[in-house]
Structure formats: structure tokens, C-alpha cells
Amino acid sequence: MMHVVVIGGGHAGIEAAHIAARMGMATTLLTMNLDQIGQMSCNPSIGGVGKGHMVRELDALGGAMGRLIDATGIHFRILNESRGVAVRGPRAQADKVKYRMAARRVLEHAEHLKLRQGTAAGLVWRLGTRGLRGVELLDGSLIPCDAVVLTSGTFLNGRILIGDRRLEAGRAGEPASTHLAEQLRSLGLRHRRLKTGTSPRLARGSIDFTRLQIQPGDDPPRPFSFFSPGIPQPQVPCHIVHTTAETERIVRENLPKSSLYGGHIEGIGPRYCPSIEDKFVKFPNKGRHQVFVEPESLETEEIYLAGLSTSMPPEVQVQMVRSLPGFEVAEILRPGYAIEYDSFDPLQLRRDLSVEGLDGVWFAGQVNGTTGYEEAAGQGLLAGINAVRWLRDREPIILARDQAYIGVMVDDLVTKGTDEPYRMLTARAEHRLGLACDLADGRLLEVAREVGALLPEELTRMEAKVVRRHRTKVLCEEAWVTQTSAFGPIATGAGVRLESGLTLSDLFRRQQIGPVEADACLALLEGWDLESPGWHHATERDLLLFDLRYAPYRDREAKLLEGQRGWDHVRIPSDLRVEQLHGISREALEKLVLHRPETLGQASRIPGITPAAVTLLHLFIHRLRSI
């Protein structure tokens, strides 16, 4: 029987193991500590703008993260709600204790899946790096397998830094993975050191919350998953505070004591999640910085300060924290720290996230240079799916850039690479008008059928929602709005002149029609008010208005996309010696050799590759095929 081993119990590992098992493949998840599966080492939250889109996408394909956060979330908010359907994103604060327990419970009860505690020492092949035999553990035992998904997070040669102190660790309280890291280096894989960080955790009772700005969650909270029946946990508010001039003074006077500015850190940190030291140095005119005060769990008294990531010595962290209003006597339970670790150049990956030159191996998560639970989960899901499909001799699942944010992320990684921790942003998606997170179920329906990880009733629910959306659009096209029709008073009340009449779809395209008027009109349509699983009337109304009003922009985008799609279907032969081609500039040749694009579409997206170079490359491929 064929067997997949997933190394690592973080968010990438959870998704890889979970989806492989749901696809019916015998799977083992190997982790150093079974009690730390699903641990949230940094901010205990899921989602946000861009990130929330990916959680909805992996949920539509059978992933676990959306359901886990719905079961354990204690504060839900839709971000960017006023800015439009395309860029709004769900976010939830997790009860990190319950999240970890729920993740383990899901895996323990998954058919075809076994959990194993141990540390991977290396991968074993039959001949060189061909014919994978299994994973060797530090205790000398071997887990036989046919494919491996490596989701090592920050553990490969991990090092924690607090001030001038260095600790060999994958995260606080857990050892680093050095043997596997050294094996991967010895195989010639290009690697780099990256850095991330975390904020101090405080005792709730030592904070004066009356002096903080309260940030309530949505009421009622909306689930992440398309399949969740509701939100079971009690909901609690978060709070906001701002740094002060005293905070800045303390940071600036102690910069030499910081691991980052004291010269103790080699790794490159995330541009979009800087430490508090970086914020004051790189944004000197900002004045003050926002800090989110977020509960970690209903089971503990720990509070997380999102936005105050630091590698200062503990005594300096105390001064920094106590300079915040309401934190004058605050107690730090766990100091913040920086961590640097080995990651491997994602340009060494194929589009299915398998590693070029290593038979039967897939990489997912921070090992590929990304940062964030959601980015890791999206990669883990695709790596798990494609490892299974490879073993079954089936074509890999490749999500296109106009199909999913997960597809944007993977294409960015394997085509452009990254020299800093990669974070998903909506600005990275050039086709984001069609990538609204609430439409992920319909957008990925065909892929979900192909993957086969959803239960039959789950797939049926997705199909029914798509059918109902289509039927609503048809009814809107057929409904006629005149002064004497049932819709007439609603339209004239909104200031719309009805001279010769118009369709309900045309009425909805008018900016005078807001949610109240749209709801009143839709209530007149047959079947709109029917309740059904997963159908949220306000969301579906917003999606309908969005679809009708932005159709011209999407049509224009689709025409541009058609020209690009042709390149994505032209594969570059693996035996084409790019470096020997004539007529292409040396710079372009060097980039093609480094990035190793699999298709002309990928080649066209490499920075510095001109359309002329792609056209010449296409000509060379055509000549090679005709020989």
C-alpha cells in the first residue's frame, strides 16, 4: 500500500495530512510533540484581507482551517467591509488552547491517518535521490513511505534571539531540527536565513482595560467555513492602544540591545509585519503605532500584544509595555522574541510544490519562504493533494492566478521566488475582482470535484448554492420594473426615474439602489426568502449587486486574460538547453536558468523577461517540436 508521511504538525502539516487522508491515502503525520499540533506561536488569529480569502479557498477544497477556527474562534470581524466585496476579508481571534485541541482531535479521528511523535533525521532514497524509501528518525527507526511533504516551519536550524541571547530552538520550549536541515543543505539546495518574531504575552489582571479603546466583534459572527453550522464559543471583545513618545524613547535608547539592531540576526524579516524596533527606525515621522490587545484563550489569562513584536531583552520589554496607557503595572508572562531559521529557495520547486531533483518530496509553508498560518495552510493543502495525485499517476492540481489567491501565492513563489518572508496581500492578485472570498465555493467547485476530498453532502450543498445564484440572476434579468409593477414604488422611492421600464438587473446596477432597496426587491422574487444550509441572505445580496455592477470591468479583465492564458498552456520542454539559445539577452538567459519556468506564462511573469524574449522562446520551442 502506498503511504505519505507529512513532517511537521503546524498549519501546513495539518492541511497536508488532513487532505491526503480525506483523499483515501494512507498517511502518517510525524511531529516532535503531539501536544503542540496546531500551535499558534505568534498572533492567535486566522484570516484577514488576502489571508481570509485563502482560508475560504482551502475550505472549499476540503481543508480543515475554516472549520477549526469556526469551532474555536472567540472574536470574529469582517475587515474592509465598507470597501467592497472583492477586498473584504474575514478574520477571527482563536482560543489557541481549544484550537490546538480541536486540530489534534480532527486528525486523530480522520480515517487513513496516523499520528507519530518523533524527530526526522533525514530522508532515505534507494539510489541517490531517486526512489524514496522513507523517513529516518533520530532514534534510528525508519517510517517507510512513497512520498514526503515537508512542513518544518521555523524548526530547520532554528535559533531564538532575545537581546544578545541565542538559543537553539524551533520555537520557545522546543528543540530545533538540525540533522534534517544539514541533509537538505548537503544535497545542494539553495537556502537562506529568514527571521520572524513574536510579541510579549501579558497577564490580563495587570491591564487597565478601561483606558483602552474597545473593539467589539461582529454580531452575529459569520463563520469562515461554508459548512459550519454556527459559532459555538462565547464571543469577547478585543482592544486597541497606541505607543507613546515614552515608548519611542525607550526603544531608541536601547536599540543596540535589540537582537536585530545589535547585529545578532542574520535572517531577513517580514516587510509587512515589522518589529516595534523597525517601526520606529523606518517610520520616524509616524509618531505613534497601533497595538491590538487580544485575548489568547478563554482558558488562560494571557493577552497578546499584536503589533509589538520585539527581540529586546526582557527588562527592556517591561519598560516598553509599561509605557503604554493602561499598562503602567502590566506583568509580562512570556517575553517576545525573534527567531531565525533555514528556508529554501522556492525557485527549486515545481508548480505542484514538489522539489526539483528530490524524488517524492514536496515542501510547504515557511520552509518555502512564506510567513503566516494561512499561507502555510494553503501550501500544505496543495502539497498534500499533489503528493497523493503523483502516487496515483494523475496530473497535479495547479490553481491559476485568476482562480484562487492560493494560486497567486504559489505562482509568485515558484516563478519569482522571494528574498524575504512572503505574505499574501490582495494587491498581489491582478484578477482580484473575480476572487471575492465569498465566491470561493462556486469558483472552485470543479476543482473540488476533481480533488474528491469533500463529502457527497458537502459537494451537493456547494452545487445547490451555485444553482440558486444562477437562478436568481436569471430571475433578475427576466423581471420587468415599471411604475405599475411591484418593484415600481421601491425604485421611485430611491430616486430612479422609470420612463420606459428596465429589468431588475439594470435597476440593481444603479448606484441609488442600496441594500435596503435591493432586499425589498429580492423579497418579491420567487424562492429568494427560502432558508437553506450555507445561504446567508445579506452576503448573497451583496454578491449579486457586486456581480451586476462590476461585470463590465470583469469582462475587460477576462479579455486581457485570454491573451495571457495561451502562454500558460505552452510547456517549456525539460530538455531545452535555455543557456544555449541565441538572440536572447544574457540577462534574460540568466533569469530563465535561475527560475526554470515550466510554461511560457511563468516565463513572462519573471521580472526582467521582456515580451520579445518570450516570443523568441516560443519560436525555439516550436522548432524543437518540429524536429
**What pLDDT, on a 0 to 100 scale, did the predictor assign at position 565?**
65
Domain closes at, from 340, 357, 376: 340
Under the banding of pLDDT at 50, 70 and 90, the label for residue 572 is: confident
Residues 582 and 548 grouped into a single domain: no
Question: What is the spatial distance between Cα 155 and Cα 145, in angstroms, rounded to a whole number?
Answer: 22
CATH number at residue 489: 1.10.10.1800
**What pLDDT, on a 0 to 100 scale, did the predictor assign at position 596?**
83
CATH number at residue 582: 1.10.150.570
Residues 326 and 211 grouped into a single domain: yes
> The domain containing residue 213 runs over which residues?
201-340
Residue 348 within any structural domain of the chain = no
Residue 440 within any structural domain of the chain = no
Residue 411 within any structural domain of the chain = no
Which tens digit of pLDDT belongs to each residue from 596-620?
888 888 888 887 777 777 777 887 7
Average pLDDT estimate for 291-315 = 96
DSSP string, 289-353: -EEEEEE--SSS-EEEEET----S-HHHHHHHHHTSTT-TT--EEE--EEEEEEEE-GGGB-TTS
E strands present in 332-426:
332-334, 337-344, 361-363
Which tens digit of pLDDT belongs to each residue from 321-360?
999 999 999 999 999 999 999 999 999 999 999 999 999 9
Give the highest mean pLDDT range of 55-64, 168-177, 582-591, 616-625. Answer: 55-64
Question: What is the spatial distance between Cα 506 and Cα 365, in angstroms, rounded to a whole number?
Answer: 45
Q: Which of 37, 120, 24 is nearest to 455 (CA)?
A: 24
DSSP string, 80-108: TGGG-TTT-EEEEEE-HHHHHHHHHHHHH
Residues 603 and 521 grouped into a single domain: no
Residue 11 within any structural domain of the chain = no
Question: What is the spatial distance between Cα 320 and Cα 254, in angstroms, rounded to a whole number?
Answer: 10
Is the pTM value of this prediction over 0.85?
yes
Rg over CA atoms, the chain: 26
Residue 537 within any structural domain of the chain = yes
Residues 612 and 546 grouped into a single domain: no
Into how many domains does the chain fold? 3
Q: Which of 336, 331, 284 is nearest to 314 (CA)?
A: 336
CATH number at residue 214: 2.40.30.260
**What pLDDT, on a 0 to 100 scale, did the predictor assign at position 463?**
96
Residues 507 and 577 grouped into a single domain: no
Under the banding of pLDDT at 50, 70 and 90, the label for residue 505 is: very high
Under the banding of pLDDT at 50, 70 and 90, the label for residue 562 is: low
Residue 465 within any structural domain of the chain = yes
Provide the CA 431 distance to its chain's centre, in angstroms: 17
- Nearest-10 crossing angle of helices 65-72, 96-108: 130
Between 229-243, 546-560, 573-587, the lowest mean confidence (pLDDT) is in 573-587
Provide the CA 404 distance to its chain's centre, in angstroms: 11
Between 179-188, 223-232, 267-276, the lowest mean confidence (pLDDT) is in 267-276
Residues 504 and 610 grouped into a single domain: no
Residues 476 and 548 grouped into a single domain: yes
Report the percent of the chain where pLDDT is more than 70. Answer: 98
Residues 542 and 597 grouped into a single domain: no
Residue 522 within any structural domain of the chain = yes
Q: What is the mean pLDDT of the chain?
A: 92
Residues 538 and 581 grouped into a single domain: no
Domain closes at, from 325, 340, 355: 340
Which tens digit of pLDDT belongs to each residue from 21-71?
999 999 999 999 999 999 999 999 999 999 999 999 999 999 999 999 999
**What pLDDT, on a 0 to 100 scale, did the predictor assign at position 534?**
82
Report the percent of the chain where pLDDT is more than 90. Answer: 76
Which tens digit of pLDDT belongs to each residue from 237-274?
999 999 999 999 999 999 999 988 888 787 888 887 88
CA 3-352-123 angle, 5° bins:
45
**What pLDDT, on a 0 to 100 scale, did the predictor assign at position 474?**
95
Residues 550 and 576 grouped into a single domain: no
Q: What are φ and ψ of residue 625, in 5° steps?
A: -70, -30
Under the banding of pLDDT at 50, 70 and 90, the label for residue 564 is: low
**What pLDDT, on a 0 to 100 scale, did the predictor assign at position 609?**
77
Residue 345 within any structural domain of the chain = no
Residues 545 and 586 grouped into a single domain: no
Which tens digit of pLDDT belongs to each residue from 404-436?
999 999 999 999 999 899 999 888 888 888 899
Q: Which of 179, 160, 173 is nearest to 119 (CA)?
A: 179
Between 146-150, 454-458, 553-557, the lowest mean confidence (pLDDT) is in 553-557
586: pLDDT strictly greater than 80: no
Question: What is the spatial distance between Cα 383 and Cα 362, in angstroms, rounded to a whole number?
Answer: 6
Residues 604 and 499 grouped into a single domain: no
Q: Could you tell me which residues come within 8 angstroms of residue 282 by beta carbon, excluding any fewer than 6 positions away?
A: 274
Domain closes at, from 507, 530, 554: 554
